[in-house]
Structure 1
Amino acid sequence: MTASLVDTALFTAAQSRELDVRASRDGGLSGYELMQRASHAAFSTLGRHWPDARRIAVLCGTGNNGGDGYLLAALAREAGWQVDVLALGPPAGDDARAARRHFEASGGPVRDASQGQNAWNDADVVVDALYGTGLNRAPEGVAAELIRLLNAAGRPVLALDIPSGLTADNGTAPGVAVQASVTVTFIAYKRGLFTGRCGLAGTVELARLGLPDAMVSSMEPDARLLSESALPPRPRDSYKGDNGHVLAVGGDHGTAGAICMASEAAARTGAGLVSVATRDENVPSINTVRPELMAHGVNGPQALEPLLARASVLAVGPGLGQGAWGHALWTTALDAGLPLVLDADGLNLLAKEQRELPSQTILTPHPGEAARLLGVTTADIQADRFDSARALARQYRSVVVLKGNGSLVARPDGCVMVCPWGNPGMASGGMGDTLTGILAGLMAQQLSAWDAACLGVGLHARAADVAARDGERGLLAMDLLVPLRRLINGLPV
């Protein structure tokens, strides 16, 4: 891995612990020295984000995460800050015990957490050093109550390595969890900081603790973050036939909007031609809203076949329905063997009727659709989004986009990319339809299913972030298309 790839690598909790071991074994650093580096990095983060802070409360657990907290508290005292430390109990390991002794030697008192739950009332910032990456269960007892009271207080929170209660592997929170403002994570990114309940981490920063790239790159990451990218400029002699022909199939009675949004997104992404196969009643409205699209009323497979003959990529599912009309078009479209993006009812039909899919296929399920495709519950999907995405890609031998907070892109060989962009404003109707169109538009321009999925998911989320500058509430799917055009051309937004 190059330096840039190191900075996008995501590791499991077990891999993170192994990196700590390698830092000691290969880098000659003791566990206590790593704690010292972590505390200095955290104190630097604290100063950058809250430059006027002069009083902090530090919540320390019994493990090494608590050790980081004690050393941070000592640094703050040495800088003349007022520091309150609350401890869940005595440190369990030698390094954490040494860290606590160092803090106490600086003159700092340590209070029992059960007796000092209002310590943050006057604090400028609260530091969460309760649990590290090893916690995979719900916090209990005093810790759980402490977290509940902290969240209710609404104070700014700096989490060390990971917010307590958030699982490092999967981004789940099986119980109460700290809502952090900023999380500084050490040595390498943990994959749970970027999907599921990852919003609990707030702004995430990576502190490498001075370890060389080679040490981190010696371990293959479990997943990677997507990077910003765009398409190169077109040749000056380019014409529409060079840029593919998308056929969007869907729009049953009452759902013209879904197929129209998907089709326009394909056109805005740069597909040379976009046709729409839909119900007769939808054609006038599509022609009015977006005359550049070629809308066709299709009443069955025979009417669809001539359109399939001219297409290079299919986008099947938005507004398709699961009735006789939708099922007939779905079957005919899949039989064509063309590169395919399958979404919405296209996925629901696949869950009911297993089919061989074209080699270049992207499936775009949300967690509920993913659950139907795997025959499990939505809770099962969300409990391990990485495993779920990989299972879908293997079972259907396709590229899979598992949508949601921190969307995942997986392929059958187990490779997973994670989208670090997006915002809550995207929780509105039509967002999935525009993503379908974007992916189809990219495939029309000769991108493989994998490359189209990685680029398209990133463009979709980044466009949503630009559009959300005017506010997340009220963000509409079509608001993405203006910044999308600039982003795909590599222009500033």
Structure 2
Amino acid sequence: MSTLSTSSLRPLYTAAQVRELDRRTIAGGIESFALMQRAASSAWHSFRSRWPHARSVTVLCGSGNNGGDGHVLAALAMQSGLKVQRISLKPLAVLSGDVARAAELATAAGVGFDEWQPGTTLVGEVVVDALLGTGLAGEVAGDVKRAISAINEASQPVLALDTPSGLSADTGAVLGTAVMATCTVTFIGDKVGLHTGDAPAYTGEIDFRPLGVKAQVYFDIPPSAWRLDDSLLLEAFRPRSRICHKGSLGHVLVMGGAPGFGGAALLASQAAARLGAGKVTLATSPEHVTASLVRCPEVMAHGIRGGAEAGMLPSQADVVVVGPGLGQGAWGQAILQSALQSSAPLVVDADALNLLASHWPEERRDNWVLTPHPGEAARLLGCSVADIQSDRPEAARALQRARGGVIILKGAGSLVVGPSGLVVCPYGNPGMASGGMGDVLSGMLGTLVAQSSTIEQAAWLGVMAHALAGDEAAKTEGERGLLASDLASYARAFINP
């Protein structure tokens, strides 16, 4: 596979970084109010492209710059002939600076004004959320909380400006309550928190508008993360050499399937084969060998009763996938110990992660991929699942600092952290919330690690191929009833672009 870099990916920033970009843009000669007008104009363009036939709009404005964007958008809507309901959470008389100037602009354009009152009916065909943006420090409360509830209880589609109010732009966590938007138009720099955690349930479609700001020219403000893009698959998976052979395409060893738990290891080994490994070996409990031969005879299945019987298998492989169906008993412990004694790169999943947390708390390697879901990540870090989900980017970074290698924190907006930093996967769907999905991912990763020059780039590609396969399967037959075993065949199309 070709060597990849983050240079072709969309950079993602924290709210503080975007505020600094905003400050420098203004210091560079663009008046702050002109930048506000530019944001509102971009938001209005986003509005019109999605709801071209809307004849009325409700704009809810907070007292900060996000509210200023809303006031200017209200003026643009009025000038375009729409009926505008403008609601402010603060009296216009107490506004100051650019926000007051924006409110005056809307009033001069003939836009009416209502101060927020509980029970206010939102009458526009579309609702614009200009309450908070990225300026939220703690949980929402008071009138803002009640206004968010009113937006969510209404039936109209919602356009959120910059960030759905109540959603952390840095972590993707909901801070008490948050607006459930149909579309979020975000400005200057795309935000990390719009792509992970709770965010996918709140942002709707994300429309990024840089407003003419070239964020990456500021070398002292490096992106906080990068957004994966399926164009990387085209870049990575070039046609194979006409003289390649199975020995040059990677040998994957899957170790898992404790007595009575064979399915996960079978899913992983078949996924490794479907992703193009030259050879796949399965080391599993003897009772699962027949099932493996029936399911995928191309996999070389070995029945082993313990770690000693694994013998030389780990040393003969290019990569070892350990964990699917492993269990946490004596069998699983022995198998994991055998894998850890190998110098080959490892993909560690499922109960192997739980065993690392309980029996190998100090184990650290540079040549492994750990693939925890939030529960496994919490056990590895000695905290709660709520702690993990409250700041997924920091949890993933903390795991990488503690354990080395590459960390894949699974879930909505899966995160990959390695030497190049944090990347976010924007693909995947709720249909993938079913048993065995992680096992299939670990098998895919095994093949890609065996064929890649770096395990970090293999992790990027594996997470993307897995998520895109899930999206394609859901598009074809729907999300409900999507099985892990469906994914490998769909993923095959993405590695043969």
Q: TM-score per shorter chain, which class?
A: over 0.9
Q: Which residue of 1 aligns with 2:312?
A: 306
Q: Which residue of 2 aligns with 1:154?
A: 155
Give the distance between the partners of 2:203 and 2:181, measured in 1 at CA.
5
| CA deviation vs aligned residue, 1:174-213 (integer Å, no higher than 9, x gap) | 2111000000000110110010011200100111112246
Give the distance between the partners of 2:199 and 2:8, measured in 1 at CA.
20
* Aligned ranges 1:300-379 → 2 under 5 Å: 300-354=306-360, 356-379=363-386
Give the distance between the partners of 1:39 and 1:7, measured in 2 at CA.
26
- Name the SS of the counterpart of 1:114 in structure 2: coil
Is 1:291–2:297 an aligned residue pair?
A: yes
Q: Report how far residue 333 of structure 1 moved.
A: 1.1
* Aligned ranges 1:44-443 → 2 under 5 Å: 44-90=45-91, 92-114=95-117, 117-120=120-123, 123-199=124-200, 200-212=202-214, 215=217, 219-228=221-230, 229-230=232-233, 231-354=237-360, 356-411=363-418, 413=419, 415-443=421-449
Q: Report how far residue 257 of structure 1 moved.
A: 1.1
TM-score, normalised to structure 2, is 0.94
Give the distance between the partners of 1:252 and 1:215, measured in 2 at CA.
53
- Name the SS of the counterpart of 1:85 in structure 2: strand
Are the counterparts in 1 of residues 364 and 402 from structure 2 also a CA contact under 8 Å?
A: no
Give the distance between the partners of 2:285 and 2:294, measured in 1 at CA.
15
Are the counterparts in 2 of residues 339 and 358 from structure 1 also a CA contact under 8 Å?
A: no
| CA deviation vs aligned residue, 1:339-394 (integer Å, no higher than 9, x gap) | 10000001000001225444310000001101111111111111111111111011
- Name the SS of the counterpart of 2:372 in structure 1: coil
Is 1:23–2:25 an aligned residue pair?
A: yes
Q: Which residue of 1 aligns with 2:3?
A: none
Are the counterparts in 1 of residues 413 and 426 from structure 2 also a CA contact under 8 Å?
A: yes
Distance verdict in 2 for CA 1:455–1:471, change over 3 Å: same
Give the distance between the partners of 1:439 and 1:339, measured in 2 at CA.
11
Q: Report how far residue 138 of structure 1 moved.
A: 2.0
Mean Cα deviation higher: 470-479 or 337-346? 470-479
Q: Report how far residue 282 of structure 1 moved.
A: 0.6
- Name the SS of the counterpart of 1:224 in structure 2: strand
Q: Report how far residue 336 of structure 1 moved.
A: 1.3
- Name the SS of the counterpart of 2:151 in structure 1: helix
Give the distance between the partners of 1:339 and 1:395, measured in 2 at CA.
18
Q: Report how far residue 216 of structure 1 moved.
A: 5.6
Are the counterparts in 2 of residues 252 and 321 from structure 1 also a CA contact under 8 Å?
A: yes
Q: Residue type of the partner of 2:435? A: G
Give the distance between the partners of 1:188 and 1:368, measured in 2 at CA.
31
Are the counterparts in 2 of residues 161 and 184 from structure 1 also a CA contact under 8 Å?
A: yes
Are the counterparts in 2 of residues 187 and 211 from structure 1 also a CA contact under 8 Å?
A: yes
Q: Report how far residue 241 of structure 1 moved.
A: 0.3
Are the counterparts in 2 of residues 133 and 161 from structure 1 also a CA contact under 8 Å?
A: yes
Q: Residue type of the partner of 1:244? A: G
- Name the SS of the counterpart of 1:119 in structure 2: coil
Q: Report how far residue 476 of structure 1 moved.
A: 1.1
Mean Cα deviation higher: 86-95 or 239-248? 86-95
- Name the SS of the counterpart of 1:201 in structure 2: coil
In the alignment of these two chains, the number of paired residues is 483
Is 1:11–2:13 an aligned residue pair?
A: yes
* Aligned ranges 1:466-485 → 2 under 5 Å: 466-469=472-475, 470-485=477-492
Distance verdict in 2 for CA 1:25–1:429, change over 3 Å: same
TM-score, normalised to structure 1, is 0.95
Give the distance between the partners of 2:215 and 2:412, measured in 1 at CA.
29
Q: Report how far residue 5 of structure 1 moved.
A: 4.4
Are the counterparts in 2 of residues 423 and 464 from structure 1 also a CA contact under 8 Å?
A: yes
